[in-house]
Structure 1
Amino acid sequence: MGSRLPSVSARMHERFIVNLRVPPQVLRDRLPACVTPQVVNGYAVVSFCMLDLRGVTLAPLPPIVGPRSISCAQRYAILAESGEPAVFVPERQTNFAVGARLSALGFAAPHRLVDIAIERESPATELRVQDGNDIMFEAALRPSGEFSSAVFATLDDFAAFMAAGVRSYGRSRHEGRLTVLDLHKDDGSYEPLFIEWIGGTFVDDCLAVGAQVDSALRTTDAHYVWKYHGLIADAVGSTRS
Structure 2
Amino acid sequence: MKEVTGIISHRILLNFKVDPEIMRKILPIEFKPKVINGYCIAGICQVSLTNMRVKGAPALLGTSSNNAAHRIAVDTIKGEGVYVTRRDTDSWINSLSGGRIFPGVYNKTKFDLNVSGDNYKVTVHEQQNTLMSIDASVVKELPIGSVFETINDVSEFFKTGNIAWSPSDKKSKYDAIELATTHWQMEPLKVRNCYSSYFSDTSKFPEGSVTFDSAIIMRNINHSWVSRENLCQLCSL
Tell me the TM-score normalised to structure 1 length: 0.86
Runs (5+) with no aligned partner, structure 1: 237-241
Structure-1 separation of matches of 2:118 and 2:179? 31
| C-alpha distance in structure 2 between counterparts of 1:48 and 1:27, whole Å | 15
Shift in Å, 1:50: 0.7
1:120-152, CA deviations, whole angstroms, 9 ceiling, x for partnerless residues?
378742110111122100121123342125211
**Alignment equivalent of 2:105, drawn from 95, 101, 110:** 110
Moved more, 216-225 or 15-24: 216-225
**How many Å separate the matches in 1 of 2:103 and 2:181?**
22
Letter in 2 for 1:181: I
| Partner of residue 68, structure 1 | 64
- Structure 1 pair 144–150 and aligned structure 2 pair: CA distance change class (3 A): same
Q: Which shows bigger deviation, 45-54 or 207-216?
A: 207-216
Which deviates further from its counterpart, 218-227 or 14-23? Answer: 218-227
| Alignment CA distance shift 1:140-1:105 (3 Å) | same
Deviation at 1:221, TM superposition (A): 1.3
Q: CA RMSD in A?
A: 2.4
Q: Which residue of 2 aligns with 1:119?
A: 114
The DSSP-based 3-state class of the residue aligned with 1:213 is strand
1:9–1:63 contact (8 Å) kept in structure 2: no
Partner of 1:218: 217
TM-score, with length taken from structure 2: 0.87
Identical columns (%): 19
1:189 partnered with 2:185: yes
SS of equivalent to 1:227: strand
Per the alignment, in what secondary structure is the counterpart of residue 8 of structure 2?
A: strand
Match for 1:93 among 88, 103, 113?
Answer: 88
TM-superposition CA deviations, 1:14-65 (whole Å, max 9, x none): 1111100001111111211111111111110002111110011112225564
Structure-2 residue corresponding to 1:153: 149
Deviation at 1:99, TM superposition (A): 2.4
Q: Which stretch of the first structure deviates more once superposed, 91-100 or 44-53?
A: 91-100
Select 1:170's aligned residue among 166, 171, 174.
Answer: 166
Residue 239 of structure 1 corresponds to none
Report the equivalent of 1:52.
48
State how far apart, in whole Å, the 1-side matches of 2:210 and 2:48 are.
27
CA distance in 2, matches of 1:108, 1:163: 20
- Please tell me whether the aligned partners of residues 19 and 213 of structure 1 are also in contact (alpha carbons under 8 angstroms): yes
